[in-house]
């Protein structure tokens, strides 16, 4: 069997590149939808300082016998784990409220949760502020292999996001290759490409 010709090698690279481009797109399609929707929604988010939490959507209480020798930070951690909130990323703003109870915030993909440990009653109160679909998608779009809630669904989505990010980069590069390999003489495409790069570069310079 002889060595493959240069033209044959070029065709083989093109065929494989097209296949990988297509399968990368199909595999990461759902992530693109989430990113696209999030990107559209982000444009209409309020300016810093104008954000308001969603209204209270529900309450829950459960018994909890904690405290003892724990300091507030450790107690908050124990309450956080006992609450076992779905898709919760972490707890913040640990403080004592006006009644002297330990209170803190938990952010989850489903919205903000306000936890208060009622020490005298030995109960934990959870106030739910469920966010809408847009905020949920926005939270999900930000997850990756090392960021996001600890539960399995969030972890899996994080890995999917990360895979899709690499796929996105690959498709941008392979897309240019597929264009140049098949239709390099398209003047309008060349002009369009040049204008897009020039606009991005101009904006970069204006911003820096």
Question: Residue 25, interface with other proteins (CB under 8 A)?
Answer: yes
Question: Residue 154, interface with other proteins (CB under 8 A)?
Answer: no
Question: Residue 169, interface with other proteins (CB under 8 A)?
Answer: yes
Shortest spacing between CB 85 and other proteins, in angstroms? 24
Give the Å distances, CA to CA, from 150 to 60, 79, 106, 154.
22, 16, 13, 7
Question: Residue 155, interface with other proteins (CB under 8 A)?
Answer: no
Determine which helix (DSSP H) or strand (DSSP E) holds 186, and give its type and residue range.
Answer: none
88 and 143 Cβ atoms separated by less than 8 Å:
no
Residue among 145, 150, 156, 180 that touches other proteins (CB under 8 A) = 145
Shortest spacing between CB 156 and other proteins, in angstroms? 16
Cα–Cα distance for residue pair 110/137, rounded to 1 Å: 9
Residues in the chain: 208
Residue among 13, 15, 40, 156 that touches other proteins (CB under 8 A) = 40
Q: Cα–Cα–Cα angle for 58, 37, 107, nearest 5°?
A: 35
Q: Which residue has the tokens 């020490």?
A: 119
- Residue 127's contacts (CB-CB under 8 Å, 6 or more residues apart) are 56, 58, 59, 113, 114, 115, 116
Question: Residue 207, interface with other proteins (CB under 8 A)?
Answer: yes
Shortest spacing between CB 80 and other proteins, in angstroms? 24
Question: Residue 180, interface with other proteins (CB under 8 A)?
Answer: no
Binders in 68-127 for other proteins, by CB under 8 A: none
Closer Cβ to other proteins, 9 or 176, answer by number: 176
Residue among 2, 7, 46, 84 that touches other proteins (CB under 8 A) = 46
Question: Residue 159, interface with other proteins (CB under 8 A)?
Answer: no
Q: In what order do the strands lie in the sheet with 123-130?
A: 58-63, 123-130, 111-118, 102-108, 88-96
Q: Is 161 exposed, middle or buried (0-12, 13-18, 19+ CB in 10 A)?
A: buried
Closer Cβ to other proteins, 14 or 128, answer by number: 14
- Could you list the residues that contact other proteins (CB under 8 A)? 22, 25-26, 29, 32-33, 35-40, 42-49, 144-147, 162, 165-166, 168-169, 172-173, 175-176, 179, 183, 186, 189, 192-193, 196-197, 199-201, 203, 206-208
């Amino acid at each position: 069997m002889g060595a493959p010709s240069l033209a044959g090698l070029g065709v083989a690279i093109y065929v494989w590149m097209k296949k990988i481009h297509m399968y990368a797109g199909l595999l990461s399609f759902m992530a693109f939808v989430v990113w696209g929707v999030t990107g559209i929604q982000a444009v209409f988010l309020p300016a810093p300082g104008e954000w308001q939490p969603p209204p209270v959507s529900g309450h829950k209480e459960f018994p909890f016998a904690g405290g003892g020798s724990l300091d507030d930070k450790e107690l908050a951690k124990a309450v956080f784990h006992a609450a076992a909130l779905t898709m919760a990323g972490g707890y913040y703003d640990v403080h004592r409220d006006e009644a002297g109870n330990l209170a803190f915030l938990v952010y989850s993909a489903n919205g903000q949760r306000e936890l208060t440990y009622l020490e005298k009653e030995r109960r934990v109160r959870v106030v739910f502020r469920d966010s809408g679909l847009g905020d949920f998608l926005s939270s999900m779009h930000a997850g990756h292999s090392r960021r996001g809630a600890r539960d399995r669904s969030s972890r899996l989505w994080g890995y999917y996001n990360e895979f899709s990010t690499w796929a996105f980069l690959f498709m941008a590069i392979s897309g240019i290759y597929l264009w140049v390999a098949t239709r390099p003489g398209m003047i309008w495409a060349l002009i369009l490409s040049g204008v897009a790069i020039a606009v991005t570069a101009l904006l970069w310079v204006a911003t820096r």
